[in-house]
Copies of this chain bind each other. A is one copy, B any other.
């Protein structure tokens, strides 16, 4: 059962072994979420040990593809969850001079809508990048 806020603010783009991969509908940064398909978990260390390893593997595969596809200067990875307690891992492509660089993206300003077409195009590039790597 996906948290309502994650559902509204992001679009599903792939199903991995453990996680659903989602793309945030915010045009300021290429911003992905991994949502492990496990109920009632809010901290990474609450996952079973094998799931912890799986989540790391999936996170790093996604991060590597995101870097290759976007040419980002730095990938930011985080599990925060102060507002939405359902476990989700952020993977964000950052560029020098982007919105709030070099500060964090979380809690900064307001989302700038990313069009459905842009969501689809970026999702396509990312899933192709993951298939290649």
- The chain A residues found within 8 Å of chain B, CB to CB, are 42-45, 52-53, 55-57, 59-61, 63-64, 67, 74-83, 85, 94, 100-104, 106-107
| Chain B residues closer than 8 Å to A80, beta-carbon distance | 74, 76-78, 104
Q: Given A56-B53, A82-B94, A103-B107, do A63 and B76 touch, yes or no (CB 8 Å)?
A: no
Q: If A74-B82, A103-B107 touch, does A52 touch B44 (CB 8 Å cutoff)?
A: no
B78 in contact with A79 (CB, 8 Å): yes
CA distance A94 to B104 in the complex (A): 17
Q: How many angstroms from the CA of A73 to the CA of B25 in the assembled complex?
A: 28
Residue of B nearest to A94 (CB): B82
